[in-house]
Structures are given as C-alpha cells and as structure tokens.
C-alpha cells in the first residue's frame, strides 16, 4: 500500500470573510503549496504547526502529532515541527550562533556548541563563517540560512517552509535547496514548502497542492502544473 507521509484536516475561520477548509494528503516526502498571494497557504502552515490554535488534525507518517493517545493536546514544543519563515524572525539580541542553536537548546537542554552533529549541519549549509556575526551584520540570504539551520537543528519530523530561500541569489538558491532536500531524505524529515517559483517546485517537490481562497482546487505531480523543465531549461 502507498505510504502516506503527511495528512491533515484543516478547518478554521480566519476572519468573518475568509476561512480555510482543506483536507490534505501526500505520499511525497516534499510537497509544495502553490497559489496566489492571499490564498491561505501561510495560514495553512501556521494551523498545521499549531502557531494558530485550532482543531486541525495533523498526521506525519501515520502518527498524529497534535494529540496524544488520550486525545490530549500535545504542547507545541513536543510536536517535532520546525518552521522556517519568509522573514526569518531571528532574535536581534543574539548572534548568528545563538539564533542557530536556540531551538535545540530550548527543546532538549543539550549542549550544542562544539557538538559534531551541529557543526556538520552548519557546514552543510555553508554557514560556519557566519556563526560569530551579529544579526544586523547578516544579509537577507544569510539570515535565511541561519533560520533554516535553527529549524533543522531541532531535529524535526515535519519541516514547514514559507519561501525559505527567497532572499538568496538564484545560483545559490538551488545549491541550498539541493542540500535541504538531501538533509530531509537522510534524516527522514517530511517537508511542506511554500514558493511562488515553479522552478523551485520542480526542483524540490514530488507533489503539489494548488490552493486558492482557502480551498484545495487541484493537486498532482509538478509536471501537471508546470511542465517537465527545471531551473536550467
């Protein structure tokens, strides 16, 4: 039987004039959310993460992560969900290293500095030279790298990405996406990706949800929506 990587039933009224009503399921490790601005994509990710409280049911590889076996709500910091924001949301009072290690230190109380696993993660995403820099000294692309490392360092089972590489130049963008895909596959991370770039979707995703006005209007492989050509042709 097909292996369902992610499944969720999302029902939430955002404003008196807009609600999200989605039933989403995918067999792909990486799935893209695509649609016009204001369609409800970011809201859907916030509902899946628990950032917006709701009755949303979320299953990752068959296990419900928002409720335990007694149907009690699982605290957000125990759901093993990482989120990468378009505007990075780094803490300005911490340097790059403090931001990159924050989630791991908060969630597990582990010593992170000097940890080989963390050092390998930083090296994989080409950020070792950034670790001592204050946030204000980082470019937009560098800030996005740190935000991505912060989420991955928490060892998530589900990674939610909202335009995670939009501030990075196009040549570097696809190199970073390659590393992200390789890391997700190696660590068994299920990933949901919002992007307006068809090339990024073709490069990363095995499945696409086309969302508009808070509804799923179509789904399928990227080729169904964008053709078979990638970022180089």
pLDDT digits (tens, 9 = 90+) for 10-42: 999 999 999 999 999 999 999 999 999 999 999
Distance CA 16, CA 198 (A): 32
Question: Does residue 233 surpass a pLDDT of 80?
Answer: no
- Alpha carbons 17 and 193: distance in angstroms, whole number: 26
CA distance 89 to 86: 8
Give the model confidence (pLDDT) of 96-146 as tens digits. Answer: 999 999 988 776 656 666 688 889 999 999 999 999 999 999 999 999 999
Which ranges constitute the DSSP H helices of 66-221? 96-108, 116-124, 140-153, 170-187, 198-204
Cα 65 to its chain centre, rounded Å, is 16
Domains parsed from the chain with CATH numbers: 1-77+158-163+203-233 (3.40.50.300)
Between residues 169 and 130, which one has the greater pLDDT? 130
The distance in angstroms from the start CA to the end CA of the chain is 35
Is the pTM higher than 0.85? Answer: yes
Euclidean distance between CA atoms 5 and 33, whole angstroms: 15
CA torsion angle 17 23 25 30 (round to 10): 10
């Amino acid at each position: 039987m097909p292996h369902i990587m992610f499944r969720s039933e999302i029902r939430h009224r955002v404003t008196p004039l807009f609600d999200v009503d989605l039933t989403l399921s995918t067999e792909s490790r990486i799935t893209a959310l695509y649609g016009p601005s204001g369609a409800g994509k970011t809201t859907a990710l916030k509902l899946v993460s628990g950032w917006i409280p709701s009755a949303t049911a979320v299953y990752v590889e068959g296990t419900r992560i928002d409720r335990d076996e007694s149907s009690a709500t699982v605290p957000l910091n125990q759901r093993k969900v990482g989120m990468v924001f378009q505007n990075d949301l780094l803490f300005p009072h911490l340097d790059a290293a403090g931001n990159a290690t924050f989630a791991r230190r908060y969630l597990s109380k582990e010593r992170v500095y000097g940890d080989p696993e963390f050092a390998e993660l930083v090296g994989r995403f080409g950020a070792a030279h950034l670790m001592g820099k204050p946030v204000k000294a980082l470019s937009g692309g560098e800030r996005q790298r740190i935000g991505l490392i912060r989420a991955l360092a928490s060892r998530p089972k589900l990674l939610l990405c909202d335009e995670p590489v939009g501030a990075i130049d196009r040549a570097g963008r696809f190199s970073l996406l390659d590393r992200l895909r390789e890391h997700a596959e190696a660590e068994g991370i299920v990933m949901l990706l919002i992007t307006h770039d068809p090339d990024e979707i073709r490069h990363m995703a095995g499945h696409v949800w086309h969302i508009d006005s808070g509804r799923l209007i179509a789904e399928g492989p990227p080729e169904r929506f964008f053709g078979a050509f990638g970022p180089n042709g």
